[in-house]
Amino acid sequence: MSVLVYTESEQGKFKKAAFEVASYGKAVADAMGVSVTAVAVNANDTSELGKYGVDKILNVKSGDLEKFNAKAYAGVIEQAAKQEGASVVIISSSADSKYLAPILAVGLEAGYASNVVEAPSSTSPFTVKRTAFTNKAFNMTTIDTDVKIVGVSKNAFGLVESNGNAASEDFSPSIPASGVVVDSVDKATDKVTIADAEIVVSGGRGLKGPENWGMIEELADVLGAATACSKPVSDLGWRPHSEHVGQTGKPVASNLYIAVGISGAIQHLAGINSSKVKVVINTDPEAPFFKAADYGVVGDAFEVVPTLIEKLKAFKAQNA
Amino acid sequence: MKILVCISHVPDTTSKINFAENDTKFDTNGVQFVINPNDEFGLTRAMWFKEKQGANVTVVNVGGAETEPTLRKALAIGADAAIRVNTEAKDGMQVAKELAKVVQDGGYDLVIAGRESIDYNGGMVPGMLAAITGANFVTNCISLEIDGSNATAMREIDGGKETVSTSLPLVIGGQKGLVEESDLRIPNMRGIMMARQKPLNVVEPTNVAADTSAVKFEKPAPKGAVTLVDADNIDELINLLHNEAKAI
Ligand SMILES: Cc1cc2nc3c(=O)[nH]c(=O)nc-3n(C[C@H](O)[C@H](O)[C@H](O)COP(=O)(O)OP(=O)(O)OC[C@H]3O[C@@H](n4cnc5c(N)ncnc54)[C@H](O)[C@@H]3O)c2cc1C
Ligand SMILES: Nc1ncnc2c1ncn2[C@@H]1O[C@H](COP(=O)(O)O)[C@@H](O)[C@H]1O
C-alpha cells in the first residue's frame, strides 16, 4: 500500500506543484502509516523529490509522452497506481492534471475530489475540505471508494520539507493510444502564466483603454508577475480572453494579487479570493474591492502605478 | 449529426451563498438559477452547427423537477428536445454515469458540456462521461469545427493554446471562445412560444451510487479590515508587502 503522487514537470524540470503534491502526499501517507511513491514523466533529475517526503520514484521516459496527452498520461498513472496498490492518488490543480483526473477516476473506479485546500481531516472516513461555489464557500467531502483521488489546490498546502531519500526506478507502462492528436502548440515561453505565477497584476475598466496597459506590463515585469484582467476588459477586446480572471474566467491562487482599476464585483472576487495577499488601487474609496483586500490605495492608477514601478525598481536594486 | 448539450442548472453568479439544515444543504431560498455560463457557449455553438451544417440538438440535465425552467430556456434558445434524468445526483461521477446512459441510448455523435460548472465547479463530468462511453475528449475547448466524422479543436492551455485533431464520437468541455460573448443567444418571444411545444422527456435514473458525499458546508472566515496606504506614501506599501505580508 502507498500514496501515489503525480509529480508534473515541464521540459524536464519539476513544477512547484510537483513539490506541493509530494508534500501533501507525505502528510496523507504519515496519517495512514504508508509510504509515498511518485510517478514522474520525462523528468531530467528526480533527486529533489526526496526532500519533500517521497520514498520511491517511478521514472517514466518515453518519446510518446513528449507532448501532454490526457488519456495517455491518465493511463500511465493508472498503471502506476495499480502496480503500487495505491489507495490514494494525489494530483495538482494544473490545467493538465484537471484534464486527466476524470479519465483516471473512471480507470481506477476511484472517487475524485478536486480543489482540495487542506490535508484530510480524517483518513477513515477519508474526509477533505474543498472549495465550492467558485470559492464562495467550502465543502467537507468524504471519498467513499477504495481508491481515492485528491486534486490539491495551488498554494493551499504549501511546501513541507522532510529528510527523505527517494529511490528511483524505471517504469515502462504501456501507453494507451489516444484519439486526440496535438497538431500545434502556441505558447509564449518567455511569459509567466497566471496558473504558475506567484504574483499577478490585474487591470480593469478603470484603465480606460488598451493603450494604457504598458504600465501594467511594466509593473508585472518588475515583479516577475503574470498579467490578468477583469471580464469586461477582455470582452471589449482590450486584452486577450486568456487573461480574463474571475468566476467565469481563470481562477487565481497566487501569493500576491494586485488589482488596478477593478471595482471588485462578486464574480471577480470569487475567482481571485484564494490569492493570499490582495492589493487594490482604485480612485473610489467605496469600491467593493476595498472590503476584500488586505492593502488598498485610494488613488489614480495613472499616478500610483508609475510611482510604484519606480519605487519597486529601487527596492529590487537595493535587495538584489 | 446528433448533438447532446449538457446543461448544468446553477445559481446566478450574483448569488449570495448560504446553507441550511445545519450547514448540510445549499439554501436555495431567493436564489435565481441559470444555465451554467460555460454551457451557454456550448449551446450557442450547437445552434451554429444546426443552422450551418444540419444537426439535431438535444439538451439534458440530471436533476429534480426544479431544473425544468432552465431546460425550457435552452429549448427557447433553439434546442430541438430536452431530457431530464430525474435524480438529484450527489457527485460528478453519478451525473456522468447517468449521462452515459442517455448518450448510449440516444447514439449522439457529439456531446458538448462545459469545462466546469460554477456551483461545485468540479470540472469532472465531461471527462468522466468521455471515459465511460469511450469517446474522445477535449476540455478547455475554445473552438470546434466538425467535418464529417473528423473534428478540429482549439483548447486553452496554461500560457497559450493548442490545436488538436480528433474524431467523433467526441465529448468537449467548452468555455468562452467557443462562440463570442456577443453572439450568445437570448430567448425571444417566438422561441419561448415554440419551446412550449417541444418535447421535454423525463427519464428515470439508473440509480448508480455516488463515490463521494458532501457532508458539511462552511463559509469563508470574515475578512479583516483593509490597511489603507496613502497614495503619497507608496514606500509604505512596499514596506508592508515586504515586511508584513512577505509577498515581495
Ligand atoms: C454571468 C456573469 C459572469 C461574470 N464573470 C466575471 C468574471 O469572471 N470576472 C470578472 O472580472 N467579471 C465578471 N463579471 C462582470 C462583473 O459583474 C463586473 O461587471 C466586472 O468585474 C467589472 O469589471 P471592472 O472592475 O474592470 O470594471 P468597473 O466595474 O467598471 O470598475 C472600474 C473601476 O475602476 C475604478 N477607476 C476608474 N478610474 C480609475 C483610475 N484612474 N484609477 C484607479 N481606478 C479607477 C472605478 O472606481 C471602478 O471601481 C461577470 C458578470 C456576469 C453577469
Ligand atoms: N447535473 C448535470 N446535468 C447535466 N449536465 C451536467 C450536470 N452537472 C454537470 N454537467 C455538465 O458538466 C459540465 C461540468 O460540470 P462539473 O463537472 O460539475 O464542473 C457542466 O458545464 C455541464 O455541461
Residue to substitute in B3, B8, B121 for testing ligand 2 pocket (most ligand atoms within 8 angstroms of CB)? B8
Residue A320, pLDDT above cutoff 90:
no
Contact A200, A257 (CB under 8 A): yes
Which stretches does DSSP call E strand in A92-214? 111-116, 122-123, 126-132, 137-143, 148-152, 167-170, 181-187, 199-203
3-state SS, residue B131: helix
> B11 - beta bridge partners?
B33
pLDDT band at A5 (very low <50, low <70, confident <90, very high): very high
pLDDT per residue as tens digits for the range A160-211: 999 778 999 999 999 999 999 999 999 887 889 999 999 999 999 999 999 9
pLDDT band at B161 (very low <50, low <70, confident <90, very high): very high
List phi, psi (to 5°) of B167: -145, 165
Please list the alpha-helical segments (H only) found in chain B.
37-53, 68-77, 92-106, 125-133, 189-197, 234-239
B237 vs A308: CB contact, 8 Å cut-off?
yes
Counted across chains A and B, CB pairs separated by less than 8 A come out at 255
Looking at residue A253, what is its pLDDT?
94
The kind and range of the H/E element at A90 are: strand A86-91
**Which residues, at least 6 apart from A303, have a Cβ–Cβ distance to it below 8 Å?**
B231
Radius of gyration for the alpha carbons in chain B, expressed in angstroms and rounded: 21
Complex prediction ipTM? 0.95
How large is the average pLDDT for residues A64-93?
Answer: 97
CA distance B223 to chain A (A): 7
Burial class (CB in 10 A: 0-12, 13-18, 19+), A28: buried
Say what the pTM is: 0.95
**Which residues, at least 6 apart from B176, have a Cβ–Cβ distance to it below 8 Å?**
A241, A244, A248, A249, B37, B38, B41, B142
Looking at residue B207, what is its pLDDT?
84
CA distance B81 to chain A (A): 27
pLDDT per residue as tens digits for the range A21-68: 999 999 999 999 999 999 999 999 999 999 999 999 999 999 999 999
Residues of A within 8 A of B140 (CB-CB) are: 95, 99
Of B132, B135, B116, nearest to B124 by C-alpha is B116
List phi, psi (to 5°) of B120: -90, -10
pLDDT per residue as tens digits for the range A271-309: 999 999 999 999 999 999 999 999 999 999 999 999 999
Contact A166, A50 (CB under 8 A): yes
Contact B161, A242 (CB under 8 A): yes
In the numeric block, the cell 506543484 is attached to A17
